Structure 1
Amino acid sequence: MPRRNEFLDLSLPKGIHAAPVPGITAQIISRNKKSFPSYPSPDKEAIVEGDELSEYFSTRTVTTYIAVTNDTPFSIHLRVDRPYPQNMDCSKLQFEIFVDGKFVWDAWCHKPRYQENGNVWEEIIGGLKLGKGKGCEIKDFKFMGLKTNEESMSYTTLQRIRKSMAKIGKIEIKVYRTTYGKKGGDVKNSMKGFLTKNNREVPETALKGEAKSHGTTLDEGRKTIRGDVWRDTNKHGELPIIIFRFLYRSEEALRSLHIIEHSPAPSRSSSPENEYHANTDLSADQKKRVEDLLRSFRKPAGGGGGPSSQRKIKKENESGSRKRIKREEEPESSEMAAKRRRVAKGKGKAVIIDLIADNSGDDQKSGSSEMAAKRRRVAKGKGKAVKIDLIADSSGEDEEKFEFPNVAIDDEEPEVVKLIKDKDDEDDVDDEDDGLFVQDNDPRSKRPLWRGLDLFK
């Protein structure tokens, strides 16, 4: 028996298989025998309840997306290998190949040849074969990008284009178990319907918003050997045992379909030490020392800016503000209020109140000369005028400091009545901030008096 490796191209990658029939694989490869990037379809075949065929095809169909580029030649690689049974239960396996909905070729795994080759078989279909004998040519498959336009057309024409575009971008391979048949005959395939430079442009409305980007075109023909062809074969059960479905799109189209996820932006390291350890080669002892050092930096120092210290400062500020609000809301006398208003306005001068009044009610009889004389006496500092210093002390002991004003009548000099004791009469208080309105936080019995005398001198 010949060695099986003599009939296998070991440089080819492994293909895609279906679980119900292991050992039969298919894939799309490039000219240099590399597989295109492939992505399993996230969608499963729909199963119609009560329909046995839909359930059958759901388990036997394998759908795969592949990412392709413009003007790239491709081939279809088929293989039958272990663990497929050594003794085939049919005379041939038929691989019926469709590209963009058009039949292109039948590949045959003949039982005698499969056994002669050490229970292995494979074939690569790189294009559309036309003719037979010495006149057989092959036109290689190539991906071609679609172009869209905004051309408007009749409803009938648009529907026809939509129908043809529905099959674009799909390569399908159906595998059947067959018996008997006769060798030779014609192959019913055609060049008709493949993309060309003249028909690659389609109305955008014909795509119905589908993310289709490519179709298949045929390259220039060249001479080739046609290979095995069988006709009049019978299919066991008339149902394929496997359906391989490849949907080819550009990477951009696959991203729009969320087949390929968008590349996430590189994430920032959550902590500097992670980056440090990732980019340096340290011993276990050195890593431990670095971690201890970084941990000490993270601990809030006394009075530092750590969360606990911030909360403590906030608490102290809130309590302090509450204390100030409480003191400001303490009841105050009218004299203190008057003083506060004057201080706020920057004024603290004595106010002269004109108490000149004629109680006799004979002003009309006296005439304007008498009123003028009284005004002259007031202007000279004489008359019934009292100069009162309304600046009050807010020490809470106002009753002891107030003196009743003396009224100077007629020619007497007005007497200035001091409602604030002189500086020499104040209680001796050792305070370097004399002359400022400062209230200590000591108990009320020990608080110094309000001081503001120097502001009024």
Structure 2
Amino acid sequence: MAVLDSLQGIEVMVVVDGKALTEYSTENDLVKHTNPAAAAHRQARTVTKYIESTTDKAFLVRLSVKAPFMLDCPHLCFAVTADGQSIYRPLMSKEGYARGEWLCEVEGVIGKLESRGQLAAMKFSEIKTTDEVTDSAALKIHKLETDRVGEISISVGRETNGKTAAFKGCAFSELDSDKKYHEKVLAKDGKSHGVILGDRKSWILPRILHTTPIDGIDFPLGVFRFKYRSAAALRTLHVLPQPDDAGPADEEAAVAGEDDELRDLDPELRERMKRLLARAKGSIKSEPKIKRDHSDSEEDVKPSKKVKPSKKKKQIGKTTIDLTEDSDEEVPVIPLD
């Protein structure tokens, strides 16, 4: 769940299939505003999270308020937007928070059909892409259309008392699902999905109040931002870790390759070489050398020159081979051609 230190008790989360999506912390974007005071205010009161979006999955926004939050105004407004467009603006009144707990779930856009209410659920839709060469004018159009997608935002603010008004509903504009957008305009931010409206169901029309922001629209109490991306996009953005390249299949293939190279050796020697190689893995040395047991009469001899291995012989890595494991008898070292 996303929380702000300045709004203790208020929790916001995006829910899919009854479970809150895992959130990944990230830095806030730089707030741009003509009023420097407003920009600084919003910058300090914004929290941004990445969440994973899955094609055709419906989602909702869950709003929760509980102690220790103290309501010091007639209403608290939660302005929910998706892809830069208004979805719903639920109000929490003093009466609604009288017991110190309030919960609201925003499932989608509420509309009106023949004097009856209906709700269109929000869901994630994959953006179709193309890498075909196109002119700059088309790229500008693609960028303009996709700039707003990829984010769910909830702005929390104090509101005055209001007067009852007739319900009008919200208009919502989706990306063209049949259109392909150039990868260049999506790659920088890793955008992969947009929000569309899905299944519709009957809904009770809410009571509408026209209220006014007490602190002004540029000075909210807090802003919760959720940037939704596919799992692949999150890996590209380094939000999720890359999958491990070396898996069990690769290890089995490496072992099989070693067995093929040792297959032509004498059976007893082959088994000994397998044991030696297994023990030597992970302890690679700078030069290949042979370790032997020396009798008391033998002296260690250090060559003055490095002996280069024959070009005709292949080395199995660079490792130390101990030929004294089971017996004192000499064992020949055979190159694997």
The reply to whether TM is greater than 0.5 is: yes
Which residue is 1:90 aligned to?
73
What is the aligned partner in structure 1 of residue 160 from structure 2?
Answer: 179
Q: Distance in 1 between matches of 2:77 and 2:298?
A: 82
1:129 aligns with 2:110: yes
CA displacement at 1:154 relative to structure 2: 5.1
Match of 1:165 among 142, 146, 169: 146
Task: Indicate which of 38, 54, 63 corresponds to 1:69.
Answer: 54
Question: Among 101, 125, 128, which residue is 1:147 paired with?
Answer: 128
8 Å Cα contact 2:50/2:227 also seen in 1: yes
1:222 counterpart (185, 189, 201): 201
1:38 lines up with 2:23 in the alignment: yes
**Residues 322-349 of structure 1: CA deviation (Å, up to 9, x unaligned):** 9xxxxxxxxxxxxxxxxxxxxxxxxxxx
Question: What is the identity, as a one-letter code, of the residue corresponding to 1:229?
Answer: I
Counterpart in 2 of 1:247? 227
Q: How does 1:46-125 map to 2 (within 5 A)?
A: 46=30, 51-85=36-70, 88-115=71-98, 118-125=99-106
Q: Give the count of matched residue pairs.
A: 263
Partners of 2:297 and 2:116 lie apart in 1 by 95
CA distance in 1, matches of 2:24, 2:197: 25
When residues 314 and 60 of structure 1 are mapped into structure 2, their CA distance, relative to the original with a 3 A threshold, is farther
Structure 1 59/314 Cα, relative in aligned 2: closer, same or farther at 3 Å?
Answer: farther
Bigger fraction of residues in strand: 2
Secondary structure of the residue aligned to 2:190 is coil
Structure with bigger helix share is 1
3-state SS of 1:253 partner:
helix
The change in CA–CA distance for 1:204 and 1:177 in structure 2 (over 3 A counts) is same
**Distance change in 2, residues 1:44/1:198 (3 Å):** closer
Larger RCO: 1 or 2 (CA < 8 Å, sep 6+)? 2
User: What does the per-residue CA deviation read over 1:55-82, in whole Å, with 9 as the maximum and x for residues that have no partner?
Assistant: 3222211100001211101001001111
8 A Cα contact 1:196 1:217, kept in partner: no
Report the CA distance between 1:308 and its aligned residue: 10
CA distance in 2, matches of 1:216, 1:164: 13
Counterpart of 1:99, as a letter, is: A
Check 1:23–1:71 CA distance in 2 against 1; reply closer, same or farther (3 A cut): same
Q: Which amino acid counterpart does residue 195 of structure 2 have in structure 1?
A: T
In structure 1, the partner of 2:10 is 24
Shift in Å, 1:313:
11
Moved more, 239-248 or 148-157: 148-157
Which amino acid is the alignment partner of residue 220 of structure 2?
P
- Deviation readout 1:243-293 (Å, 9 max, x if unpaired): 00000001110010001122446899xxxxxxxxxxxxxxxxxxxxxxxxx
1:183-217, CA deviations, whole angstroms, 9 ceiling, x for partnerless residues? 233446203x2135334x21223325431111111
Instruction: Give the whole-Å Cα distance in 1 for the aligned partners of 2:240 and 2:231.
Output: 7
- The 3 A distance-change label for structure 1 pair 171 and 102 is same
**What amino acid is the match of 2:52?**
A
Q: Does the residue aligned with 2:191 lie in a helix, a strand or coil?
A: coil
1:20 and 1:59 in contact (8 A); partners too: no
| Offset, 1:111 | 1.1
Q: Deviations over 1:358-409 (max 9, x none)?
A: xxxxxxxxxxxxxxxxxxxxxxxxxxxxxxxxxxxxxxxxxxxxxxxxxxxx
Tell me the TM-score normalised to structure 2 length: 0.69
Answering whether residue 183 of structure 2 is matched by residue 204 of structure 1, we say yes
Q: Calculate percent identity across the aligned residue pairs.
A: 24
Kindly tell me: are residues 16 and 135 of structure 1, through their superposed partners in 2, closer, same or farther at Cα, counting changes over 3 Å? same
SS in structure 1 of the partner of residue 177 of structure 2: coil
Matching of residue 317 in structure 1 with residue 297 in structure 2: no
Q: For the aligned residues, what is the CA RMSD?
A: 3.4
> 1:283 maps to what in 2?
none
Larger Rg: 1
The two structures have a TM-score, normalised by structure 1, of 0.52
Give the gaps of 5 or more residues in structure 2.
Answer: 249-278, 280-288, 306-337
Structure 1 match to 2:260: none
Q: Match of 1:164, SS?
A: helix
Q: Distance in 2 between matches of 1:19 and 1:126?
A: 26
Q: Is the 8 A contact 2:82 2:195 kept in 1?
A: yes
State how 1:361-372 maps to structure 2 within 5 Å: none
Secondary structure (helix, strand or coil) at the match of 1:318 reads: coil
